[in-house]
């Protein structure tokens, strides 16, 4: 079963991008590759309860089991040793990616307090988009009574776009609420 957003991409968005950027090959048309959600806990990850709550939150939000990230090197200034737990990450692809994208656009963004749109300048040179969510309560899957501390997430949306303009138009077509640039 294909997700509704995947069908929208195949029928409407793909043709819009092809027409706008004059692609002759369908394989050059930008598409979503993956969405990566992660939370760095720092030394808080040493507390097993904090780590377990974070794993459970991400599992509820994404529907997929996250991976615990570990320190690659020992750094005395940060009080880290090689191999200790530092955060949690999950990579979404295919139908789970499109389901999370739909949840993000229709449920999460409207629940963010004082939300005035996403920064249109947060694209890297390859058309990938990064955003931060300051608190986990904006996700409808999270129960207020189950959290002990407000923690945020970093969300990376990886596309096959070659430029920030291609990536921006792709995400705009999906319905991302970008704010107007301030220099206009």
- In this predicted model, what pLDDT tens digit does every residue of 98-141 receive, in sequence order? 988 888 888 888 888 888 888 888 899 988 999 988 887 788 78
> Which single residue is written with the structure tokens 């009574």?
145
Q: How many CB atoms lie within 10 A of CB 78?
A: 12
Q: Tell me the C-alpha distance between 72 and 39, whole Å.
A: 17
Asked whether the whole model's pTM tops 0.95, one would answer no
| pLDDT for the residue 106 | 86
Alpha-carbon distance 34 to 14, whole Å?
17
- pLDDT computed for residue 78 by the predictor: 63
Q: Which residues of the chain have pLDDT under 70?
A: 1-2, 42-46, 74-81, 83, 181-184
Chain position carrying tokens 């459970």 = 56
pLDDT score recorded for residue 1: 46
The full set of domains in the chain, from first to last, is 4-174 (3.30.1440.10)
d(CA 107, CA 99): 11
pLDDT for position 71: 73
d(CA 3, CA 5): 6
């Amino acid at each position: 079963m294909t997700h509704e957003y995947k069908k929208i991409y195949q029928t409407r968005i793909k043709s819009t991008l092809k027409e706008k950027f004059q692609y002759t090959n369908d394989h050059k048309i930008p598409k979503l590759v993956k969405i990566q959600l992660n939370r760095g806990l720092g030394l808080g990850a040493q507390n097993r309860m904090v780590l377990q709550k974070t794993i459970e939150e991400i599992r509820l939000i994404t529907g997929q089991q996250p991976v615990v990230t570990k320190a690659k090197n020992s750094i005395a200034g940060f009080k880290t040793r090689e191999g200790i737990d530092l955060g949690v990450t999950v990579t979404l692809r295919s139908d789970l990616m499109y389901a999370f994208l739909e949840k993000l656009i229709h449920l999460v963004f409207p629940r963010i307090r004082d939300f005035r749109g996403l920064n249109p300048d947060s694209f890297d040179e390859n058309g990938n988009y990064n955003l931060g969510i300051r608190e986990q309560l904006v996700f409808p899957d999270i129960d207020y009574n189950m959290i002990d501390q407000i923690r945020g997430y970093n969300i990376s949306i990886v596309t096959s776009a070659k430029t920030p303009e291609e990536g921006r138009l792709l995400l705009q077509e999906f319905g991302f609420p970008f704010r107007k640039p301030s220099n206009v």
